[in-house]
Amino acid sequence: MRITKPLLGALLLAATATPAFAQDETEAPDAFTITGSATVVSDYRFRGFSQTNEEATIQGGFTVAHESGLYVGTWGSGVGFANGTEIDVFAGFAKEVTSGVTFDIGATLYLYPGASDSSIIEPYVSVSGTVGPASVKAGLAWAPGGQDSLGDDSAVYVYTDAAIGVPSTPFKLKGHVGFAKSDSFLGGLDGDVFDYSVGAEVSWKALTLGVAYVNTDAPRLGGYKEAVGADGAVLFTLGAAF
Q: What pLDDT does residue 230 have?
A: 96
- Alpha carbons 204 and 202: distance in angstroms, whole number: 7
Q: What is the pLDDT of residue 185?
A: 59
The one-letter code for the residue type at 212 is A
Q: Which of 47, 18, 49 has its CA nearest to residue 225?
A: 49
Q: Which of 118, 108, 170 is nearest to 139 (CA)?
A: 108
- CA-to-CA distance for 165 and 171, rounded, in angstroms? 6
**In this predicted structure, what is the pLDDT of residue 86?**
98
pLDDT along the chain (242 residues), means of 10: 39 35 51 98 98 98 98 98 96 96 98 93 98 95 93 93 96 97 67 95 98 96 92 98 95
Determine the Cα–Cα distance for residues 195 and 216; give it in Å rounded to an integer: 4
**pLDDT given at position 184:** 72
Say what the pLDDT of residue 152 is: 86
- How far apart CA 47 and CA 122 sit, in angstroms, is 14
